[in-house]
Structures are given as structure tokens and as C-alpha cells.
């Protein structure tokens, strides 16, 4: 039972590499690395080692067709080199360790950049949220009707569309005094809310009809 759970019974995969080159390709590469380690232990010095399709299929369950596809992909990514040598000719492999590390490092940098960018966005959002709270707190210290204060806040805290450096409308002004702005806002609000008396001016025809009715009453 122990041999079923030993490390030799499993293939260790790097998930990031599998995402980059494919799952089957990562399986084949893991098997080739295992085979390389075996040949190194036997004194291999030039980096080249052979493996057969039958051995690979027995170790990975990849049939020859899938092996050839995986080998092509790994060669495209410059992860491995191949050549046929000997009599009868055998397939030899050489693993480009530097290229493998380069791919993994690029993935780590990319993931790190994404994480840092998300952190920056969260920090920016927290910052603008704090600035809005400060603005709202200041506005609410003034003694105006709630509708006036709410309208003032909604208008002046509207944000720009920038994700990296969003600003609120009041922050775009070169000068800003909340007290004076709010005073002007309240004054204008009263004007806007005041019912307007707009008596209809008589048209020329209405005036003529009116004069005719007056003249008729005198008859």
C-alpha cells in the first residue's frame, strides 16, 4: 500500500505553469523533469536525456498523439529542445530551466502587479470615501433645511470617472469655501422654489375682443 502513496506514484505540477502552457503540457514537462533527475543521478552532464513514447504513456497516460502536441507546445515556448540520436534513433530531450524560471517569474510579476493595482484602487476608494465623509460632516454643521443640504451634497460630491484618481466636483474648483457656496446655493434654491406669477399678456386679438365687449356694454 505504501508504494501507492509514495512520491514516485504522483506527478507534481506547477499550477501557474499549467495555466500558461496547458495541463497536458505541464504533465509531460513534469515527467521529463523526473526523467532528467534520474539521468543526472546516473552521471548525465550535458543535459540531454532520452525517453520513449511508451515510457511517457505509461507514466502520464498521454498517448503518442497528445505527446507530440505537447512537445510542439513546449518547444514553441522554448521550454524544451529535442533531437533524435543513436542507432536505432531515440528521442532526446533537453529542458531549458532558465526559460521555465523566466515564465514563472513573469507570472509572479503579473500576479503581483494585479494585486498591487487592486490594492491601490481600494486605497483610492477608501481615500475618496473619507474625503466625502469629511465634506458631508462639514456641510451638515450649517443650519439650513435638510432638502437644501442634501441637494448641495449630492451635487458637489459627484465623482469624475477616473478610477486611478477620482475627484469630486467641489474638488475641481481652484478655490472653495463651503460656507459661501452653501449660502449662495440656499439663496438660489429659494428663488427656484418661489412660485412665479406670470400673468398672461394679452394678445392683440384678445385686446380687440375686450374692447369690443366694452363697447357692446355701452350700447
Query: Other C-beta atoms within 10 Å of 182: how many?
Result: 19
Q: Which of residues 73 and 202 earns the better pLDDT score?
A: 73
Cβ-contact 25, 74 below 8 angstroms: yes
Per-residue pLDDT at 8: 55
pLDDT at 7: 44
Model confidence at 66: pLDDT above 90: yes
Residue-wise DSSP of the chain: -HHHHSGGGS----HHHHHHH-HHHHHHHHHHHHHHHHHHHTT--SS-EE--HHHHHHHH---HHHHHHHHHHHHHTTSEEEEEETTTTEEEEEE-HHHHHHHHHHHHHHHHHHHHHHHHHHHHHHHHHHHHHHHHHHHTTS-S-HHHHHHHHHHHTPBPS-SSS--BGGGGSSS--HHHHHHHHHHHHHHHHSPP--PPPPPHHHHHHHHHHHHHHH-
Between residues 195 and 191, which one has the greater pLDDT?
A: 191
Is the pLDDT reported for residue 14 higher than 90? no
Output the CA torsion sign for 31, 36, 37, 39: positive
Please give the Cα distance from 62 to 72 (Å, whole number).
Answer: 14
Contact between 166 and 124 (Cβ < 8 Å): yes
Fold of 2-95: Arc Repressor Mutant, subunit A (1.10.10)
pLDDT at position 6 = 39
In this prediction, residue 103 has a pLDDT band, given cuts at 50, 70 and 90, of: confident
Percentage of the chain exceeding pLDDT 70: 74
Q: pLDDT-based confidence at 93, cuts 50/70/90?
A: very high
pLDDT tens by residue, 127-168: 778 888 888 888 888 888 888 899 999 999 998 887 778 889
Q: Specify whether the CB–CB gap between 91 and 52 falls below 8 A.
A: yes
80-85, strands of its sheet edge to edge? 49-50, 90-95, 80-85
Nearest alpha-carbon partner for 78 in 9, 4, 25: 25
CA distance 54 to 21: 23
More confident residue, 163 or 183: 183
Cell matching residue 192: 427656484
Give residue limits of the domains in the chain: 2-95, 116-193
Amino acid at each position: 500500500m505504501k508504494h501507492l502513496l509514495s512520491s514516485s506514484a504522483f506527478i507534481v505540477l506547477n499550477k501557474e505553469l499549467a495555466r500558461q502552457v496547458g495541463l497536458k503540457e505541464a504533465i509531460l514537462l513534469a515527467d521529463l523533469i523526473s526523467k532528467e533527475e534520474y539521468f543526472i543521478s546516473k552521471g548525465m552532464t550535458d543535459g540531454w536525456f532520452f525517453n520513449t513514447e511508451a515510457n511517457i504513456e505509461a507514466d502520464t497516460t498521454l498517448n503518442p498523439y497528445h505527446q507530440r502536441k505537447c512537445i510542439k507546445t513546449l518547444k514553441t515556448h522554448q521550454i524544451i529542445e529535442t533531437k533524435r540520436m543513436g542507432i536505432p534513433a531515440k528521442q532526446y530531450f533537453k529542458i531549458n530551466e532558465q526559460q521555465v524560471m523566466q515564465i514563472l517569474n513573469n507570472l509572479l510579476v503579473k500576479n503581483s502587479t494585479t494585486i498591487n493595482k487592486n490594492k491601490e484602487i481600494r486605497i483610492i476608494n477608501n481615500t475618496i470615501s473619507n474625503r466625502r465623509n469629511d465634506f458631508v460632516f462639514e456641510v451638515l454643521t450649517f443650519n439650513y433645511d435638510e432638502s437644501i443640504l442634501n441637494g448641495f451634497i449630492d451635487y458637489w460630491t459627484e465623482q469624475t470617472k477616473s478610477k486611478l484618481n477620482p475627484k469630486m466636483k467641489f474638488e475641481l474648483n481652484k478655490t472653495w469655501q463651503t460656507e459661501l457656496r452653501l449660502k449662495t446655493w440656499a439663496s438660489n434654491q429659494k428663488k427656484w422654489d418661489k412660485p412665479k406669477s406670470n400673468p398672461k399678456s394679452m394678445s392683440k386679438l384678445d385686446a380687440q375682443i375686450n374692447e369690443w365687449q366694452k363697447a357692446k356694454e355701452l350700447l
